[in-house]
Amino acid sequence: MANPLLMKLEQFAHFEEPERRQLDRLLDFPRRSYRAHEVIVAEGAKVRDVHLVLSGMAARSKALANGERQLMAFLIPGDLCDVEVFILDAMDHDIVALADTTCVLIPSGVMEDLLTQSSRLTRAMWWSTMLDSAVLREWMVGHGRRGASERLAHLFYELLVRHRLIGAAGDNTLSLPMTQEELGDATGLTAVHVNRVLQELRAEGLVEWRDKILTVVDPERLRAAGRFQANYLHLMGTDGRGGEVSSRAGDLVSQTSTD
């Protein structure tokens, strides 16, 4: 299997052979599989092995006292679930599997070393967590200032770009293994309204979504519908510093200011 973490981090820096091998070795640690809806890391958990998603999909989730919940991030292959626990001491939210998901469990000692070294790899790891924050900020904009259809369109487009970057969406198709209710928990909408908006997006020929496979029919119009601006993803493909990313997602992130 390709190394999704390596592919993701290549947005940030170019790695030489020894570093690539170091990153590959991270995947050799023991793995664990989770069924859909299983809790991967629970709120309150203290420092343990760090979970790196290899396949499937997970989400950061906060449960409210009244049973409602809010998903705050989708974690796809190459994403780290719980680095923050090293610094903050305990998780303040759950990581739940949306579909059947497998993770590598990177031993905490290895992770501790990675975080306290001063290598390019350390920096790449920090880059990954800062990028998570950047995505989170963009979601805030969506929740505060975008309507329901814009929010969904934006989310779909973001997922398309992120899947491209790890080589998992070559043909504008990606695995979206969740229910409409979970999509609502992420966007701050109800399942019913998600359903109605999805029908709009389908009717307008922007996306298809069948059998947990999302097909982006018209990327450019989807991008416009979500008022998507790629700068928050901090890709380096478009400013000439790296070729690999641009070959994977370059056509999705061009800065046409014509919207």
Partner DNA sequence: CGTTGACTTGACGGAAGTCAAAAGGTGTGG
Partner DNA sequence: CCACACCTTTTGACTTCCGTCAAGTCAACG
Half-sphere exposure for 48 (CA within 13 Å, toward CB):
13
Out of 187, 222, 248, 253, the residue judged to bind its own copies by CB under 8 A: 187
Any idea of the CA torsion for 41, 94, 174, 126, to the nearest 10 degrees?
A: -80
Burial of 183 (0-12, 13-18, 19+ CB in 10 A): buried
* Vertex 61: Cα angle to 228 and 48 (nearest 5): 115
User: Which residue's CB is nearer to DNA, number 48 or number 202?
Assistant: 202
* Three-class SS state of 4: helix
Mask: binding to DNA, 133-152, rule CB under 7 A, as x and -? --------------xxx---
219 near 252, Cβ under 8 Å? yes
Q: Which of the residues 219 through 248 are near its own copies (CB under 8 A)? A: 227, 231-232, 234, 236
Alpha-carbon dihedral sign for residues 129, 134, 135, 139:
positive
Q: In what order do the strands lie in the sheet with 50-55?
A: 31-34, 101-106, 50-55
Out of 191, 205, 213, 251, the residue judged to bind DNA by CB under 7 A: 191
Q: Could you say whether residue 62 binds its own copies (CB under 8 A)?
A: yes
Q: Which of the residues 141 through 160 are near its own copies (CB under 8 A)? A: 141, 143-145
Query: Residue 190 binds what, of DNA, its own copies, none (CB under 5 to 8 Å, by partner type)?
Result: DNA
Out of 5, 9, 54, 60, the residue judged to bind its own copies by CB under 8 A: 60
Alpha-carbon dihedral sign for residues 57, 61, 65, 68:
negative
* Vertex 250: Cα angle to 54 and 82 (nearest 5): 30
Q: Could you say whether residue 199 binds DNA (CB under 7 A)?
A: yes
Q: Could you say whether residue 72 binds its own copies (CB under 8 A)?
A: yes
Q: Could you say whether residue 89 binds its own copies (CB under 8 A)?
A: yes
Mask: binding to DNA, 208-227, rule CB under 7 A, as x and -? ---x----------------
State the residues that interact with its own copies by CB under 8 A.
43, 60, 62, 64-65, 68-70, 72, 84, 87-90, 92-93, 116, 118, 123, 126-127, 129-134, 136-141, 143-145, 185, 187-188, 227, 231-232, 234, 236, 259
State the residues that interact with DNA by CB under 7 A.
147-149, 179-181, 188-193, 195-199, 211
